[in-house]
Structure 1
């Protein structure tokens, strides 16, 4: 009970994401590859496993969670429709040979099937107004295996970006350790191909190699392993390493 009470107080009191003042240029200045036929590596898995490398630091983007400590939950679907997906994220510590980091606080957020984010909207950046809802955002604390799991949906996409998930990792005291993003495998036979952009299709989609966040990831360290299908749902797995 003492540990449970401690974690509850920790989660509610952890540092919240900063208030957005201006849109982050790294995410906003991407030029979409209209009609691109680039299908990426064609692999159904990422290549980051077994590599003790710190995860790249990336922008929070223009849509970070405004009060992340308010959304301590494993099921972040919150009524959004789409193909079910379980996101398993393991945090490793590069200061300890990338062994599992227990007690780390992990926030994730991503867009819905239509490419829209909760907590924002009604602007030129996102016309759909979802300022009063909080879907597809959540926080968990890593277990003894360094693992957090979220029940969510397979993300959609929006102009200028490849499909992705945002991640912010804190230590147990609430100190920020890493802001990064997770990419998805591309090509024939992958989950991305099976989902096919939901109702939007893939016309005008920006693939990882042309995405302004992922294009410099030559080793695939940010690409998750994604298995499953549209009938039974998908499972995403990735290890993200931080210096803790």
Structure 2
């Protein structure tokens, strides 16, 4: 295992989650966004640093909008298993990296009402939804489950459920079954509220892989604390080959599962990507039923 990955895991703890990445409560985020809604410009202060709800469409200029326009639209996102490594981290923040080594990956997700965008693909953006993502690090390990996730049962195979935990009761999630973490790390986990166009944006690292599963990112979409979508995102094989040939990913040995061999992969979860100066930008439209 790459030494940078291992040292980083030892430095991060769940107790530091609320001081990393500018995490704030959901109520404060929505209040700030509502106060700014008439100005047409990004909110100032804490909300700008912590939520994409007021700035996601402008942070990367027109590139985000262009990628979202290129990506498939109004195909109802497929419901997928949440896998065995989800817990309610209850953290609204844009930057999920903490100090995880890996290629910078900016991910933009647009949440749309499936019934509305079916009539007009440019319409139906759901404002103030909460998009939550989590994924493994460059070495294939999930925060909160460092002792068992790499090469463990984390395939998230159909029918596999998280057990032993409580049900979520955080600021944006209520009633979902949680797994019980084995450590207090929270890297590469977090949530963002959507802006007026239904767009949320994260800065993270490109996800790694682990045996038995294709490379993926988990996600949930919450509206009024109700989960309306649980799914997984995937990437083109040529991009995966490109990323995994670089450090620290290339220190990960073993056989990688391809999309074609993965029993969860679905094309509706394929992310549209573009190269940036320091990594990659990805975008996807998520059509949901409310």
TM normalised by structure 2 equals: 0.61
Provide the secondary structure at the position in 1 that maps to 2:250.
helix
Superposed counterparts of 1:182-197, under 5 Å: 182-187=233-238, 190=239, 192-196=240-244
Structure 2 spans left out of the alignment, 5+ residues: 1-25, 33-66, 119-123, 153-180
Q: How far is 1:51 from its partner? A: 3.5
Residue pair 1:109, 1:137 contacting (<8 A) in 2 also: yes
Equivalent residue for 2:228?
A: 177
- Deviation by residue 1:28-66 (Cα, 9 ceiling, x = unmatched): xxxxxxxxxxxxxxxxx99983432210010111111x2
CA distance in 2, matches of 1:205, 1:154: 15
Residue pair 2:98, 2:188 contacting (<8 A) in 1 also: yes
Matched, 1:100 2:100: no
Q: How far is 1:196 from its partner? A: 1.9
Equivalent residue for 1:227?
A: 274
CA distance in 2, matches of 1:107, 1:8: 19
CA distance in 1, matches of 2:136, 2:214: 11
- Deviation by residue 1:157-204 (Cα, 9 ceiling, x = unmatched): 000111110000011x101101000001112xx2x1211261246751
| CA spacing shift, 1:124–1:228, aligned 2, 3 Å | closer
Superposed counterparts of 1:56-95, under 5 Å: 56-64=78-86, 66-69=87-90, 71-95=91-115
CA distance in 2, matches of 1:84, 1:155: 10
Q: How far is 1:8 from its partner? A: 6.3
Give aligned pairs, total: 195
- Deviation by residue 1:95-125 (Cα, 9 ceiling, x = unmatched): 2125211111111000000000001132486
Residue pair 1:120, 1:126 contacting (<8 A) in 2 also: no
Provide the secondary structure at the position in 2 that maps to 1:90.
strand
Equivalent residue for 2:147?
A: 122
Higher helix share: 2
Equivalent residue for 1:240?
A: 286
Equivalent residue for 1:7?
A: 30
Equivalent residue for 2:177?
A: none
- RMSD between aligned residues: 2.8
Q: How far is 1:7 from its partner? A: 2.4
Structure 1 spans left out of the alignment, 5+ residues: 10-44
CA distance in 1, matches of 2:149, 2:214: 20
Q: How far is 1:221 from its partner? A: 1.6
Residue 220 (structure 2) aligned to one of 121, 144, 168: 168
TM normalised by structure 1 equals: 0.72
| CA spacing shift, 1:124–1:155, aligned 2, 3 Å | closer
